[in-house]
A and B are shown apart, each in its own frame.
Chain A
Amino acid sequence: MKNALGREIPDRIGDRTLRPFQGAFATTPTGRKAARPQKTVRPGENKVLRSIEEAIEATGLKSGMTISFHHSFRNGDYLVNMVVDACARMGIGDLRLFPTALFPIHAPLIEHIKAGVVTRIEGSMNGPVGAFVSKGGALKQPAVLRSHGGRWRAIEAGDVHIDVAFIAAPQADPYGNATGIKGKTPCGPISFSTVDAQYADKTVVVTNDLAPYPVHPFEIQQGWTDYVVVVDEIGDPESIASGTLRITRSPTRLRIARLAAAAVKASGYLKDGFSFQGGAGGISLAATKFVGEEMEKEGIVGSFAMGGGTKLLVDILHRGLVRTILDGQAFDLDAIASLREDENHVLMDPGHYANYDSRGCSTYMLDAAFLGATEVDLDFNVNVNTHSDGQLLHGIGGHQEVAAGAKLTLITVPTLRGRLPVIVDRVTTVTTPGEVIDAIVTERGIAVNPRREDLRERFVAAGLPVRELAEIKKEADRLTRPPRKPIFGDEVIALIEWRDGTVIDTVRKVIGWK
């Protein structure tokens, strides 16, 4: 069947009937949320176990089950490998891995996939695991990629049932309260896994810093936690949270950021109470800085900014340019410190900011957002998942929810990355549909979605270089011969879900080149 964007979607994959994407806000959820089994813990019971193996035994984890993880340790995470290694040693296989995201550090999983220890993955795959899975034939069922809010929704809706949630915690107490913003190796919020902790049959908190009761803020709560495991090392601090992220120095990228900030100013949304989402990518970081400078100049006080948290955003809060930061992730140590110390820097989970099946999302309160893309097409569809050669590259992150929510969604991209054109006739994979994108900001000008004639008029009136997307594309295309395009076969490597659980696109195996 074809979905609303004309993308071919299979009717069924394995045990799952697929629903095609119908439009950004087309579906309405029915039914009730899923739930975990009831349980009680009586006074005096001990939750602390000595090892991962002990936890695997205690939880009753068996072959064929689903285990989940969060990605807040990013490329410094040791836990995924520790747990899957232990399962392999204990003869447990056929596992469905349900992480929020995998990173290059998880490359050892490739051997476990080959050996049948892991047979399914539902989660973002950045790096070697994605490249391996892209080759096809590796997994029993296609991978499933979900946005932050989409993953949350899938758990609540019972689309994905987690048997055991393993939660890496920078600090926890023996009773199962845990936080990501304290401890020996803080990683920022671990709130991505609060839904895992509440819906999994069993929840295991793993920490390298067991602190006296009560550890707070309790992002993970005692009432959700079955077991606590203490390990010597839980991650590589160098790769968990970075020092201060640097703003791009590339003149092209700075120009894009300046144009994006000028677009925000021209849009009419930049006034008292303004809210925005600042990313951690080079261009969005710079755009955030320029918007902050504009607010300072005009004496505008914003209502809130959304992260991932960075030093830059913290500075904007401390200069009084916004009243609040809402953070689901923190990318540098300054942002983590601010979460500990500043009551206006608020921890937030994806259920709060991004869940389609909920009574409200923070992203719906956003005025403006800067988002990236690997490709953009002439229908304003955006790809962040695959490279132009068809390989799985990145997860969705919060891209869909921010784009769907913000009044002004700007995609900030250079027209060329080396020899690779970013603006294409048709994106390799649709992550986010053009209907929720307002404008594409490039170094060669700004293309406004025809749905936003109002914006186009404002931009033109402000003297911004507004151009047709096709014209920008043509200018960039003059600089390189077109790269070849992959020819896709029938085998589906991955499903890309829209945030409501419908399938917006599939990633298929590359079988040749044209």
Chain B
Amino acid sequence: MPKETIVGSENKGDCRVRLTPADSLAIEIHTSNPDLFAPGIEAVVTETLAGLGVTQAKVEITEQGSLDYVIAARVEAAARTLFPDLPPLRPQVARSPSDRDRLRRTRLYAPGNNPRLLVGIELHGADCVLLDLEDSVPPAEKHAARVLVKHLLATVDFLEVWVRINPLATYGTDDLGEVMLARPHGICLPKAESAEDVKGLADELSRLETELGFEEGSTMIMPIIETGKGVLHAEEIATADPRVAVIAFGAEDYTRDVGAKRTQESLLFPRSQIVAAAATAGIQASDTVYANLEDEEGLIAETRHIRDLGFTGKGVINPRQIGPIHSVFSPSPEEIAAAERIVAAAAEAEKQGIGAIAIGGKMIDKPVLERARRTLRLAGKIKEGVE
């Protein structure tokens, strides 16, 4: 047994938990204002340890404005490192289901092991939030991060939340085992290169869903295509499993993989390939992130470009990118009016039992009707928020 374990940090919003074996339970709390906070913090620590069945340990906790779920996560991660046989906590989760065809103009990335950046992540108006255990978490912090993400998932009501796990060949299986306890809407699979990658994840999800008593098939998959091989296999990836609701593009890794410079031209082929694959599978395509936070004009220009290519959403690394992207995806009043005419004509045709829809003698195809419906959904959605 290791002599001690330390999890977390003394950064704002976080706490550092130091756990050492002891004959009984001893809790030492360092906080900015012990008069106000110490009893509440102690209650969280005590309950977490009781839930895990730990009765013998010395806990030293140094906190910097951390919320209860952060403290609970740090304590759990520390306890399970010190006592590796402990089973993970399974929190109560009341997750409202999400519609796999819902709008996903933005997917907001948040680093899975930085409590400060996770506070209020659900409040920024992104269509979905993506909690990351992969690129933004160094290997030494993977365990603490997946425990933190689990506790966050159990605490906060998300409109729609995904977890980006590591590839199954590295830490991905452990990631899944932990975060599925708190039932995210979907799992994001990085570096997807084949149908087998997706099927591997789907099998693992089926196993966990059954074990945890969730409806089988209820967890969605979003493969991220970010290699040359993945781009060439986009169609088989998109159609590999009915769980796949979105395929996303990761340009940074892609350009590195193929030796390209990131330009609109160099990304045109992978982007078009991904959009075509998504259309084949009848799912959504979501573009890569735009890394330069300061360049709002560039972000808007790129979003227009990918919208015109056929993407229905884009990755976001900072909440301030949400507003500009949503405005690009907002239909204009003219587009809304045209869509309303088409949908009304379709309704009329159905009422009269006519198969073909026509406006002013011009026939309306099914894809045009679908696009009109989508436009109206976009318009309706946008009225709800300020972004």
Interface residues of A (CB under 8 A from B): 251-252, 254-255, 258-259, 262, 388-389, 416-420, 443-444, 462-465, 478-484, 486, 513
Please report which residues of chain B, range 134-160, place their CB below 8 angstroms from some CB of chain A when the two chains form the complex. Answer: 155
13 new A-B contacts at CB < 8 Å, known A417-B65, A463-B384: A254-B319, A255-B319, A262-B386, A388-B36, A389-B36, A418-B64, A419-B40, A443-B123, A464-B386, A478-B155, A479-B69, A480-B67, A484-B39
Contacts of B64 in A (CB 8 A): 418
**With the chains together, A482 CA to B43 CA distance in Å?**
11
**With the chains together, A513 CA to B155 CA distance in Å?**
28
Contact with A along B92-126 (1 / 0, CB 8 A): 00000000000000000000000000011001100
**With the chains together, A419 CA to B33 CA distance in Å?**
10
27 pairs, A vs B, C-beta closer than 8 Å: A251-B318, A251-B319, A252-B120, A254-B320, A255-B120, A255-B123, A255-B124, A259-B386, A262-B386, A416-B67, A417-B65, A418-B12, A418-B66, A419-B31, A419-B36, A419-B40, A420-B36, A444-B120, A462-B386, A463-B383, A464-B386, A478-B155, A481-B40, A483-B33, A483-B37, A484-B39, A484-B40
CB <8 Å contact, A481 and B43:
yes
CB <8 Å contact, B319 and A418:
no
- Scoring A251, A259, A464, A483 by chain B CB atoms within 10 A of each residue's CB, the highest score goes to A251
Contacts of B320 in A (CB 8 A): 251, 254
- CB-based A-B contact count at 8 angstroms: 79
- Scoring B67, B155, B384 by chain A CB atoms within 10 A of each residue's CB, the highest score goes to B67
Knowing A389-B35, A444-B123, A481-B43, the reply to whether A419 touches B66 (Cβ < 8 A) is yes
B228 CB within 8 Å of chain A: no
B32 CB within 8 Å of chain A: yes
Please report which residues of chain B, range 14-50, place their CB below 8 angstroms from some CB of chain A when the two chains form the complex. Answer: 31-33, 35-37, 39-41, 43-44
Knowing A255-B124, A388-B36, A481-B40, the reply to whether A465 touches B386 (Cβ < 8 A) is yes
Contacts of B319 in A (CB 8 A): 251, 254-255
CB <8 Å contact, A252 and B119:
yes
B324 CB within 8 Å of chain A: no
**With the chains together, A464 CA to B387 CA distance in Å?**
10
Contacts of B35 in A (CB 8 A): 389, 484, 486, 513
CB <8 Å contact, A419 and B119:
no
Chain A interface main SS type: loop
Please report which residues of chain B, range 362-387, place their CB below 8 angstroms from some CB of chain A when the two chains form the complex. Answer: 383-386
**With the chains together, A258 CA to B319 CA distance in Å?**
12
Contacts of A420 in B (CB 8 A): 36, 65
Knowing A254-B320, A463-B383, A463-B386, the reply to whether A482 touches B40 (Cβ < 8 A) is yes
B68 CB within 8 Å of chain A: yes
B contact residues, total (Cβ < 8 Å): 33
| Min CB gap B196→A, angstroms | 38
The chain A residue with its CB closest to the CB of B117 is: A251
Which of A262, A389, A443, A463 is within 8 Å of B120, CB to CB? A443
CB <8 Å contact, A479 and B37:
no
**With the chains together, A418 CA to B64 CA distance in Å?**
7
Contact with A along B71-94 (1 / 0, CB 8 A): 000000000000000000000000
Lowest 4 CB-CB distances: which A-B pairs, in order? A418-B65, A481-B40, A483-B36, A251-B319
**With the chains together, A389 CA to B43 CA distance in Å?**
20
B167 CB within 8 Å of chain A: no
The chain B residue with its CB closest to the CB of A420 is: B36
| Min CB gap B42→A, angstroms | 9
**With the chains together, A484 CA to B38 CA distance in Å?**
9
Knowing A251-B319, A251-B320, A513-B35, the reply to whether A481 touches B120 (Cβ < 8 A) is no
B217 CB within 8 Å of chain A: no
Contacts of A484 in B (CB 8 A): 35-36, 39-40
CB <8 Å contact, B33 and A258:
no
B310 CB within 8 Å of chain A: no
**With the chains together, A464 CA to B384 CA distance in Å?**
8
B13 CB within 8 Å of chain A: yes
**With the chains together, A480 CA to B69 CA distance in Å?**
8
Contacts of B44 in A (CB 8 A): 481
| Min CB gap B131→A, angstroms | 15
CB <8 Å contact, A419 and B67:
yes
**With the chains together, A434 CA to B107 CA distance in Å?**
39
The chain B residue with its CB closest to the CB of A482 is: B40
**With the chains together, A478 CA to B152 CA distance in Å?**
12
| Min CB gap B377→A, angstroms | 16
**With the chains together, A69 CA to B124 CA distance in Å?**
45
- Scoring A389, A419, A483, A484 by chain B CB atoms within 10 A of each residue's CB, the highest score goes to A419
**With the chains together, A483 CA to B37 CA distance in Å?**
5
CB <8 Å contact, A480 and B12:
no
**With the chains together, A252 CA to B13 CA distance in Å?**
13
**With the chains together, A264 CA to B305 CA distance in Å?**
33
**With the chains together, A161 CA to B382 CA distance in Å?**
60
The chain B residue with its CB closest to the CB of A442 is: B123
Contacts of A417 in B (CB 8 A): 65
The chain A residue with its CB closest to the CB of B108 is: A251
**With the chains together, A481 CA to B48 CA distance in Å?**
14
| Min CB gap B147→A, angstroms | 17
- Scoring A416, A443, A484, A513 by chain B CB atoms within 10 A of each residue's CB, the highest score goes to A484
CB <8 Å contact, A483 and B318:
no
**With the chains together, A484 CA to B36 CA distance in Å?**
5
Which of A251, A388, A462, A483 is within 8 Å of B124, CB to CB? A251
Contacts of A478 in B (CB 8 A): 155
**With the chains together, A418 CA to B14 CA distance in Å?**
9
**With the chains together, A493 CA to B203 CA distance in Å?**
67
Knowing A251-B319, A255-B319, the reply to whether A419 touches B120 (Cβ < 8 A) is no
**With the chains together, A259 CA to B124 CA distance in Å?**
11
CB <8 Å contact, B65 and A483:
no
CB <8 Å contact, B66 and A479:
no
Knowing A252-B123, A481-B44, A484-B39, the reply to whether A418 touches B386 (Cβ < 8 A) is no
The chain B residue with its CB closest to the CB of A445 is: B123
Contact with A along B52-70 (1 / 0, CB 8 A): 0000000000011111110
| Min CB gap B70→A, angstroms | 9
Contacts of B318 in A (CB 8 A): 251
The chain A residue with its CB closest to the CB of B13 is: A418
**With the chains together, A87 CA to B262 CA distance in Å?**
71
CB <8 Å contact, A389 and B155:
no
CB <8 Å contact, A479 and B155:
yes
**With the chains together, A65 CA to B345 CA distance in Å?**
87
**With the chains together, A251 CA to B63 CA distance in Å?**
22
Contacts of B36 in A (CB 8 A): 388-389, 419-420, 483-484
| Min CB gap B91→A, angstroms | 13
Contacts of A389 in B (CB 8 A): 33, 35-36
**With the chains together, A486 CA to B318 CA distance in Å?**
39
Contacts of A388 in B (CB 8 A): 36
**With the chains together, A255 CA to B67 CA distance in Å?**
20
Contacts of A465 in B (CB 8 A): 385-386
**With the chains together, A416 CA to B152 CA distance in Å?**
16
**With the chains together, A435 CA to B83 CA distance in Å?**
56
Contacts of B63 in A (CB 8 A): 419
Knowing A251-B120, A389-B33, the reply to whether A463 touches B385 (Cβ < 8 A) is yes
**With the chains together, A479 CA to B70 CA distance in Å?**
10
Contacts of B123 in A (CB 8 A): 252, 255, 443-444
CB <8 Å contact, A479 and B67:
yes
| Min CB gap A256→B, angstroms | 10
